Amino acid sequence: MSTTNAPEIALTISANATAEVKKFMAAEGVSPEVGGLRVSVQPGGCSGFKYSLLIEDQAAEDDTVLAQEGYRVFVDPFSMQYLNGVAIDYVTSMQGSGFTFKNPNATGGCGCGSSFSA
């Protein structure tokens, strides 16, 4: 496996989001030493791209692996170009709970909060 351990991007994950990721990893029985959180960008959504978060058992061969507090984050080469400077948080409000993304590189977005254009 040729994963890269040197961060090539600045990706911020809040303490609230970290706590939720750890809960999901524990619920799925994923070891933080090998598995982690995949953060990716995919074509689609109402603005052109959408964010995706998945718990995975291990990194893919071409992933960049970022060390977080007690777990790892996997980013594929396509998503890398869109995630630099992104801040991920987990918020709870009267409308519900969920992960939020703040992307300084986005040129547009929509009301759903998980779709953007670049």
**Is the full-model pTM beyond 0.85?**
no
All domains of the chain in start order, with CATH: 12-106 (2.60.300.12)
Q: What is the pLDDT along the chain (118 residues), one digit of tens a residue?
A: 444 455 468 899 999 999 999 999 999 999 999 999 999 998 876 667 888 999 999 999 999 999 998 999 999 999 998 898 999 999 998 888 999 888 887 665 555 444 444 4
pLDDT for the residue numbered 117:
47
Quickly list DSSP for the chain. ---B-S--S--EE-HHHHHHHHHHHHHTT--TTT-EEEEEEEE-STTSEEEEEEEESS--TT-EEEEETTEEEEE-HHHHHHHTT-EEEEEEETTEEEEEEE-TT-SEE-TTSSEEE-
pLDDT for the residue numbered 20:
95
pLDDT for the residue numbered 96:
86
